[in-house]
Amino acid sequence: MSWSKLKQQLEGFLSPALQGRVEYRAPGYRYFADKSGICYISVDKKNVLNLGDKTNTIRWYASELDIRNDPGIRIPVTDDDIEAVRQTAKGPIPEDRLIVMARSRLSTEHAKELMAAQAALTKSNFIVVANQFLTTPIEESLESNDMVLNILALVDRRVGKKRIIGMSEKMRLKHPVVQYFYELRRWTL
């Protein structure tokens, strides 16, 4: 599918409050056919997400340690997580230490997922993900670990007010760019 057709379909799914505010742009360079190119998702004519450039207004993480040390990311620990640590431990461990160990394990997994998601952002990947978004149910896009799928689903008109409000807890674990689009959508309800 051509870029202009894809862009038209994606912008057709935008929430009415975001029509004209959110825009997908991909300046193409004819003589660089072997390059993946760049793609922007802009809000109010500002490039919020520059797919392929990490120097934009959204916080990008340079390492897993940055993610683990970010005070804005709070990872909830369940009883199942604590039990998994207890099973792998040799000998008795105090309960408060089990919680710390479980949180550390979860934050490492979360950091690896975010770093992998950041590394995959280019124009060619955006086109693949956008085509996937157009052919899959909206629920799958919302639950996905892919940042671009999450963003496309959050600005979609098929996601209603009740669902947006109900997913605030899940959004705390997402990348800051996904959180930005969540807040944008939440404030336009």
For the chain, give every domain's residue range. Answer: 3-52+122-187, 64-117
CA nearest neighbour of 10 among 129, 145, 95, 113: 129
Per-residue pLDDT of the chain (189 residues; tens, 9 = 90+): 788 898 999 999 999 999 999 998 876 654 444 455 667 788 998 888 776 555 555 566 777 788 778 877 778 888 999 889 988 888 888 988 988 899 888 888 888 877 776 666 654 577 888 899 999 999 999 998 888 899 999 999 999 999 999 999 889 888 888 899 999 999 988
Tokens standing for residue 15: 């929430």
Burial of 189 per CB tally in 10 Å (0-12, 13-18, 19+): exposed
**How distant, in Å, are the alpha carbons of 102, 107, 173 from that of 81?**
6, 12, 16
Cα 176 off chain centre by: 7
